[in-house]
Every structure is written in C-alpha cells, then in structure tokens.
Amino acid sequence: MVSKALIAASTKPMILSILQSGENYGYQIIQKVKSISGGELEWSDGMLYPVLHRLEKDGLINSKWRISAEGRRRKYYSLTELGRIELSLEMQQWMSVHEALSRLWKPSQAYSA
Amino acid sequence: MTFELEEAIRKWRGTLYKNEAFEDGYVEELESHLRDEIEAAQASGTDVKSAFYRAVENLGIAEEIGAEFHKTQTRRLSGRSPWDPPRMVPALMWSYIRLTLRKIRHQKGYSLINIVGLALGMACCILILSWVQDEYSYDRFHKNAHRIFRVNSEIHAGGEVSYTAGSPAPIGKALVQEYPEVLRAVRVQAGWERWNFNYGDIDFTKHKLAAVDACFFEIFQFPFLKGDPKTALQDPHSIVLTESLAKLCFGDEDPMGKVIRKDDDVDMLVTGVIADIPRNSHLQFDYAFPAENMRQWRESKLDSWDYLQFATYIEIAENVDTAELNQKIRDIAQRHSTGSRVVVTLQPLTDIHLNSSHMNFWMTPYPNPGNKTFVMVFTLVAVCVLLTACINFMNLATARYATRAKEVGMRKVVGARRTDLIKQFMGESCVLAFISLGIAILLVMLLLPAFNQLSGKEMSFDLKGNLFLWLGLLAIALFTGLVSGSYPSLFLSSFSPTQVFRIVSYLGAYRDGRLRKVLVVVQFIFTIALIICTTVIYSQLHFIHNKDLGYDSKNIITFAAYGNFRRDFASVRTELLQDPHIINACSAFPPSSGIGRPTIQVDWEGKDPAREVRFYSDYGDYDFLDTFSLQMAAGRFYSRDYPTDADNFVVNETAVKLMGYTDPIGKRFTFKEKKGRIIGVVKDYHGGSLHEPIRPMVIEHGQGFFVCVKYQAGAAAETVAFLEKKWGKFVPGEPFQYRFVDESIQNFYQTERRVGRIIRSFTILAVFIACLGLFGLASFMAERRTKEIGIRKVMGARVGGIIVMLSKEFIKWVLMANLIAWPVGYFLTRRWLQGFAYRIALGWEIFLFSALLALFIAVLTVSYQAVRAATANPVQSLRYE
C-alpha cells in the first residue's frame, strides 16, 4: 500500500497522464488507476472530484457534460495545452526523483559515479 | 422491507445538498460516479443493497469531500467561506439596533448627555465646515477659473514694498503680445458706486459699476440671460446689467436695446442681461460697460505704464507652468518703462478671496477679503469640537462599561467572538451617532440664520442637490460613530469571560482607566486653548476700542466734498457754523480714511541723497487740528494769520524722528516739488487701522476730498438733517452719503469682531460639551462609589472632605491640561496678534484667567454630583445593593 502523502503528491501527474490519451470521466479514471497500479494505489473515490475541480480551476484540464450511451449524464475531462506543459514538467520532476532513488538503491554504482 | 435504489440515492443526495460546499453540478457528478460503481458491482453479482452501501462508503464522508471542494474555491482575502453571509451587514444588525434603542430607553440621562453632546459637536462642525467650504468656493464658479490669474503689482520704493491689485494699464496687451501662453487679458475696475447713470427717475448712484475691456465676459463666464457675451461690450456705448438692476429699471419689459443715460449727455445701449453676481465672487457689480469710455470721462491714462488704477486679469492656456511664467513676466514693467518700480506677479483667481488682505485695492475695492489663518483656525476649531464630542462619548461609554461587562461575559460564554462584540459596540455607537446626526441637522437648520448673522454670510442648508454635503455629513457621522465606538468596543471585547465575571478584577481595571484620563485631559486642552483664543481676541478688540488714537473720533461726520463744498469751502463753512449744533468744520482727509498716500519725493536739510524713504501725506486745512482735537508737539499748525503758511509744512513726530532732528522748527523741507519750511510738529496719531504702524506723515495744507463736521454730542440727527438740507442746496440731484468717523474706525476691525464673535460662540459650545461629558463622568463615579462614601460617612468623614475627595481628581486633570493648552494658545494667538502693529502683551494674566475659568467651570460641573453624593444619607446608600 502506498502512503497517503505519496498518493496526494502523485494524484495530479496521475490524472494528467491518464487524460493524455484522450478525454475521460471520473469513474473511469479511478478504474484505470486501480488497474494500472494493480490495486497498490487506493484512492478514496470521492476525493478524486475535488482534485479534478482544482485542476480545472488552474486551467490544466477542461470539462464537458455529455450523455453516455446508457443515457447517463457524465462529466468528461480533457487535457488543455497548459495541462500538457504541466505534465511534461511533472514527468521531468518524477523522473529525476526516480533516477536519484534508483542510484541510491544500487550502492556500488552510486558511489563510483 | 425491500431496498429501493432510487429512494436510497435520493436520500443520499439530500445529505450532500445539506453541505453548503456542494453546488448542483458537483452532486450530480458524484451521483453519476455512484451509479457507475453500483452497476459495476451488480454486474459482478453483488446485490443492489450492498452495492449501494459499498459505493457510498468508497466515495467517502460528505463533509470531507465538501471541505476538499471548498479548498478548490478561490481564496478570498477575508478568508470567509463562500457560504457565510457577507460581513457588510452583520447578521445580528437588527438585534443590535433593537438593543441600542432599548439601552437608550433604560438609561435616559446618560443617553441624553451622549446624544446631545454629539449632536452639538456635529452641528458645530457642520456649521464651521460649511463656512470653510464657502470661503474656499470663491470665484470657482467660472468654468475656466483655474486658468484665470490676476496680475498684481509690488511697488518697490523707499525701502518698503507695497502690494496692490492694480497693474500698469497697458500690461494686459503686452502680455498677450509677448507670451503665446497668455490667451486673453482684460482690465477691470469694479465695485465703485456714484457714477451718474440713470434711466428716467432711476439713478444708478447706489449701484456698483464695472468698467472693463470688451472680452470681460468671455474670460469671466457670468451667465448671460439675454445677449451674447462675445459681442455685448464690443460697442463703446454698450452696457450690460444684472437681472435685478434690469428688473428695477424696466420691470417686465425687454431690457435689450433700451437706452441708459450717463451724465445726461451720453447714451448707452443695453446689450445684455446677466444673472445677479453670486455672493462668492470677488468681483461685485450691478452693471458693466467698456472701460474705453473712461478716456473721455476721467482722462484715464489707459496707455500709461504708471497708471495702476485698473486690475488686469489674464486667461492662460491649459497646462502652462505658472511658476515659470511668473518668473518670465516679473520685470515686464521695467522693460517697457525705464525706472518703473513695479514688479508684477500672477495670483490665481481662486486664491484672491483668501489671500488679498495685504493688498491695496485702489480702484477695485474689495472690502471683505477672507483670511487663510482664520480658515485654518476655524477648521481646527471644527475638528476640536467634534473630537471633544467624540471623546465625551468614548469616556461615558467606557465609564459605563462595568454595567455592560456582564453582558459581554454572557455573550462570550454563549459563543460570541471578539469580532462580533466589536461589531456590536461599533454598531451601537454608530446608531447613536446617526441619531445625533439627525438632531444635528435639525440644529443646523435652526441655527443657520443666527450663524449667518454672526458670520455675515448667506449660506443656505440645501440638502437637495448637494451631494457633497450629504456625503460629508454621512462621513462625519460614520467617523464619529467609529471613533467613539472604537475604544469601548476594543477595550470591552478584550476581556475573557472569567475576568468579566470576577467583580474585583474589573473594578481594578476601572480605576486604572489611564486612557480615559488622557482623553479628559485632551478635551480640556481644546477647551482651555479656545478660551485663551477668545480672551486674547476680546482683549485685543477692547484694547483697540479704548486705545488713544491721538485724535478724537467722536461726533464727527464726513462726506465727499462735491460742488460748492469743494469750490468755495470757506463760505460754505461759515454757513455751516451758523447751525448751533455744529462746533467746527474742515476740509481734509480724515484719519479714518486710511494711512495717507505714499510718496518718495521728499527732501530735507541734511538728508543723505542716496537715502530713499517713504513719506505719507494727508491734506488738511486750517481747522483740521481743532476738528479732530489733535495735539501739537512743537511749533504751530497752519493758521489764517500767516499767509505764507500755505507754502510750509506740518509733519508728525515719527517724521521728525526719521529725519533725525532735535529741533525741527524752521528747517527747510521739500515735498513733491514744493519747497518750504517745517512750521510745526503734530503729535503722532493713528491714521487707518492699528494693523499699521504710524508712518512719517506730512499734513499738506489744502483741501481734502472730504468735509469733516464736528457737532455737539447727542445732536447727530439734527446735524445730519441740517447738512442734508445744505447738500441739497449745493449739490442738487446727488444723494447725501455720509459716515461717522468712529463708525469708519470700527469698520477697520469688522473681520476681527466677526471672527471674535464666532470663536466665542463656539468656545461656549465647546465648554458646554466638555461639561456635559464631565458631568456624566462625575455622576458615574459618584454612583460607583456610593458605598465607599456611605462607609466613610459612617466612620466620621465630613461632607466637605468627601466633596474634595470626589473633585480632586478632576481638578488634577484640568490643571494638567493647562500645561499643554498654554503653549498651544500662546502660539496661535501670538501669530494672530502679529497682524497688529499695536497689540496687547500676551501676559500671564490671560493664561491664568483661562485656567481659572476652566477650573471654575469644571468644579461647578463636578461639585453638583459631589455634593449630592456627599450629602446622601449613608443608611440608604449602604442598604441599597
């Protein structure tokens, strides 16, 4: 299980990454996170929505109400241009953290470098 | 019971809607999520009921989600949650107002003192500020007022500089030609009377003229009711009347094209009618005509650089650096006329009213210029009076706080925050302030006629259409309310409930009310300073009134010497003296007509040729000395027994001192190209007002423009009747206009007396307001110490001792206030007194008097309560809980 703090920190890049492959709605996003992480990342479902709203307010994503095939109203979110830039910045940051940790966890390489 | 999914979702939605953080869209989105989740669970075989509950559980607690939603809102500066009501209108406002009204009903005396004090203070403040506003409003009604300047002259001669509003007659033309930024210029003589215009039986001798250049009405935008401002004065024989003068002459007939006669030989055509000149215009006139006319009539030298009898006004372009322009034109008179002693400066039109008292207005009389110092002092007084009233309010409110402390405690216990309490007390004092404002407005309406009489203004209290005044009033009320409420509210609300409920601790805090003492002291500083000012002004006026001017001004009538009064005064005089009431008569410039006319063309035996001095001269004939009861210091006055006297001179003592003679009689003396000898020295007397020092004077032998008639005391009416008859005989057709010399002298100090009266009224009011506050405080203190006094009396204290005990503290405060009020009063009054060449000394008596007066008033106020408390029966005060 991943800690709460880490989940909170990773929510934003996670959502942006999922939306990169096209527009989506809340329930689907959560399902995707669950399946990708193999259940390791467990979000409290309700908490996703405030985050989505904040991202929208910050201009990183757009939302649109649609009627789905089953006739249910769903709010679809999609990435904005600003969101794409934000995502690439997030990716760099996460990758540099990832690399640093990877090196630390292989002592011989880390010290020789 | 079967599970109804739709019903369950409806209920769930209801719980979400209760949370104010959710808006419609949010809940719908969550519901959509919930349904997806339930369907997915059902698809994998779970029953509806548990699918629903699991989905709800997964979504999380409504409050937490709500809080997260709230965080996504833009952060407000106030930190207020979006679902809280806005704070401009406190939720409990009506409750506060109700509470305030209840408090007023319950504590009638206290509320009365509070409201009346505030209302009086506000009424004073409104009156004074409208006076100040009126003083600043002069000449601002011209749309281009900011671009109009008057060309003033400084005349540098004889080591002195004199200032005049007149300027060299051709200067306007020169300025327009030489400086592109000067657009237009106009010469003006305005305010004179006695020009002989007439329309049928109606003559204009009592109406004021304006002799101006043609573009006058283009620069000064007095509104035209008929005619065209651009062309009205193009023709030299045109005349423009004010509405009332036109009405007087022509009634309801159309005035345009009518003919007004001048001197029964020149016809002037009416070419325009303007609205009556507003009171706040420094130019006052009833009719205007082109100045070109005066060339024929008065041989005016309209092209001479030495002719300074016209005021010149210029209109400059927008955005001109006036300081720079002022520098550039300073020496224009010297450039055009070698040897000219005139340096010109520009004065903004809007500055003229308040900044002209040091100027001579030879041909454009402006009898009542304003005074910047007075405006400043009055503004200060207004603020002081208002602050005194506010301080009162604060004092009384804090003094009563013990009775409110429990209320504060209660409110805190049941959950009032500090901000709520501050709001409550501020609100309360604001409500009181607005009630006071209402009363103040009524008071102002009531007092305005009296105030107008006092100030010589004609202000009206027009609430309609005067947005500025309205906003000002509201601002004053709000300011008063907030300032008055600030101390009690911040102070009271700072207690913790436990403190408030422990009686001992708040009694301690009450005794320690250091700030309140400071407030009382400040209040008395204002009051004492005002008393000092009033005392000094009145002492100075008294001093002026009783000062020996060196001549007798009583029982003397003067009038202009026209007709035979001028041509053949000797025989007229004999005729006048036949009347038994008339003691003496002379033809002269009476001392009351001013300090005399200056000249530097003076020479005497042994004068250093390089030295340049100014002498002043007045005319006087043989009887000048006796008519005014002047005293000789040496030699003799002009006498009919010495035919050569007409070539000689009588000077005053100051002139002798200046020339450095010990024995001046017989010394050669040249005055304006007339060579002669000094035959007498008259004792110094004050020509003009006591603002001016005594100048070196020459009394020239000859006739003045005025006839002065000395009559027997108590025979004024008979003398006037007799003179009127003679006037009708010698100057037929002209109205007889006369003045009493002592009245003219009093007129020099009209402004001072008026200001003195105003300040006195407001001092009395300020003292009254301060006393109200003191009275309230004293009664409160006496009340709080009822038991203590009872016990003291039981133990054997005397009434006198208790009165002293109760008054001691107040007396201490008043004495302390004196320490600061004295220097303040000294500074203010010294500045004012410096405007007088002859003035009272600022002795300690004045300050002591003010201190004693303040002390007396304070003791009187406090002692009523003190005596009442001290003489109360201890049995009652101790029994009462």
Binary contact (A57, B71; C-beta < 8 A): no
- Min Cα distance B29 → chain A (Å) is 6
Q: Report chain B residues whose CB lies below 8 A from the CB of A73.
A: 28, 32
pLDDT at B149: 93
Binary contact (A46, B59; C-beta < 8 A): yes
**Averaged pLDDT for residues B172-192:** 88
CB pairs under 8 A between A and B: 57
Mean pLDDT of chain A: 83
Which residue in A48, A49, A61 has the most chain B C-beta atoms within 10 A of its own C-beta, making it the best mutation to test that interface?
Answer: A49
Give this complex's ipTM. 0.80
Strand pairing partners for B421? none
Tokens linked to B24? 């419609």
**Averaged pLDDT for residues B376-380:** 83
- Residue B60, chain A, CB below 8 Å: the answer is yes
pLDDT at B313: 92
Strand pairing partners for B274? B224, B242
Q: What is the Cα B186 distance to its own chain's centre? A: 30
- Min Cα distance B86 → chain A (Å) is 23
The alpha carbons of chain B give a radius of gyration, in whole angstroms, of 39
- Min Cα distance A32 → chain B (Å) is 13
Task: Report the SS3 class of residue B325.
Answer: helix
Q: Which pairing describes strands B148-157 and B160-164: parallel, antiparallel, or unpaired?
A: antiparallel
Closest by Cβ to A26, choosing from B29, B69, B74: B29
Task: Pick the residue from chain A with its C-alpha nearest to B16.
Answer: A46
**Averaged pLDDT for residues B525-552:** 86
Closest by Cβ to A75, choosing from B29, B61, B72: B29
Which residue in A42, A44, A47 has the most chain B C-beta atoms within 10 A of its own C-beta, making it the best mutation to test that interface?
Answer: A44
pLDDT band at B273 (very low <50, low <70, confident <90, very high): very high
Residue B64, number of CB atoms within 10 A of its CB? 13
Which residue in B15, B33, B61 has the most chain A C-beta atoms within 10 A of its own C-beta, making it the best mutation to test that interface?
Answer: B33
Which residue in A28, A75, A76 has the most chain B C-beta atoms within 10 A of its own C-beta, making it the best mutation to test that interface?
Answer: A75
Binary contact (B72, A50; C-beta < 8 A): yes
Lowest mean pLDDT among A75-84, B299-308, B746-755: B299-308
d(CA A73, CA A95): 37
Q: Report chain A residues whose CB lies below 8 A from the CB of B32.
A: 25-27, 72-75
pLDDT higher for A93 or B111?
A: A93
* Residue range B7-43, pLDDT digits in tens: 888 888 888 777 766 766 778 888 888 888 888 888 8
Strand pairing partners for B582? B711
DSSP one-letter code for B807: H
B650 φ, ψ (degrees, to nearest 5): -115, 130
Tokens linked to B808? 């001691």
- Residue B42, chain A, CB below 8 Å: the answer is no
End-to-end CA distance of chain A: 32
Long-range contacts of B660-669 (CB under 8 A, 24+ apart): B660/B606, B663/B634, B664/B634, B664/B635, B665/B634, B665/B635, B667/B604, B667/B605, B668/B604, B668/B605, B669/B602, B669/B603, B669/B604, B669/B605
* Residue range B480-531, pLDDT digits in tens: 788 777 766 777 777 776 766 665 444 444 444 666 777 788 888 888 888 8
- Residue A75, chain B, CB below 8 Å: the answer is yes
Query: B827: part of which helix (H) or strand (E)?
Result: helix B799-833
**Averaged pLDDT for residues B695-722:** 87
B637-649 burial, b at 16+ Cβ within 10 Å, e below that, comes to bbeeeeeebeebb
pLDDT at B86: 53
* Residue range B42-55, pLDDT digits in tens: 888 888 888 888 88
pLDDT at B90: 56
pLDDT at B123: 87
Binary contact (A26, B74; C-beta < 8 A): no
- Residue B13, chain A, CB below 8 Å: the answer is no
Binary contact (B72, A47; C-beta < 8 A): no
Q: What is the pTM of this model?
A: 0.66
- Min Cα distance B84 → chain A (Å) is 20
Q: Report chain A residues whose CB lies below 8 A from the CB of B16.
A: none
Which residues are CB-contacts of B604 (< 8 A; sequence separation ≥ 6)?
A: B659, B667, B668, B669, B670
Share of chain B above pLDDT 90, in %: 4
Binary contact (A46, B30; C-beta < 8 A): yes
pLDDT band at B463 (very low <50, low <70, confident <90, very high): low
- Residue A66, chain B, CB below 8 Å: the answer is no
Tokens linked to B620? 């006087």
Share of chain B above pLDDT 70, in %: 89
Closest by Cβ to A72, choosing from B32, B37, B55: B32
pLDDT at B508: 43
pLDDT at B77: 45
pLDDT at B300: 54
Binary contact (B26, A49; C-beta < 8 A): yes
d(CA A65, CA B28): 11
pLDDT at A28: 87
Closest by Cβ to B72, choosing from A44, A46, A57: A57
Lowest mean pLDDT among B18-22, B176-180, B361-365: B361-365
Which residue in A4, A7, A53, A64 has the most chain B C-beta atoms within 10 A of its own C-beta, making it the best mutation to test that interface?
Answer: A53
Q: Report chain A residues whose CB lies below 8 A from the CB of B59.
A: 44-46
**Averaged pLDDT for residues B865-878:** 77
Binary contact (A73, B59; C-beta < 8 A): no
Mean pLDDT of chain B: 81
Cα distances from B91 to residues B85, B97, B420, B424, B428, in angstroms, run 8, 12, 10, 11, 14
Task: Pick the residue from chain B with its C-alpha nearest to A29.
Answer: B33
d(CA B814, CA B811): 5
DSSP one-letter code for B403: H
- Min Cα distance A92 → chain B (Å) is 26
- Min Cα distance B20 → chain A (Å) is 14
B788-816 burial, b at 16+ Cβ within 10 Å, e below that, comes to ebbebbeeeeeeeebbebbbeebeebbeb
Q: Report chain B residues whose CB lies below 8 A from the CB of A53.
A: 26, 69, 72
pLDDT at B593: 74
Task: Pick the residue from chain A with its C-alpha nearest to B74.
Answer: A57
Binary contact (A53, B69; C-beta < 8 A): yes
pLDDT higher for B88 or B720?
A: B720
Given a cut of 80, whether residue B740 has pLDDT beyond it is: yes
Strand pairing partners for B557? B709, B740
- Residue B32, chain A, CB below 8 Å: the answer is yes
Given a cut of 90, whether residue B148 has pLDDT beyond it is: yes
Binary contact (B29, A49; C-beta < 8 A): yes
Share of chain A above pLDDT 70, in %: 93
* Residue range A8-63, pLDDT digits in tens: 788 888 889 999 888 888 888 888 888 888 777 777 777 788 888 888 888 889 88
- Residue B69, chain A, CB below 8 Å: the answer is yes
- Residue B33, chain A, CB below 8 Å: the answer is yes
Which residue in B22, B23, B30, B32 has the most chain A C-beta atoms within 10 A of its own C-beta, making it the best mutation to test that interface?
Answer: B32
d(CA B506, CA B517): 17
Task: Pick the residue from chain B with its C-alpha nearest to A43.
Answer: B58
**Averaged pLDDT for residues B225-243:** 88
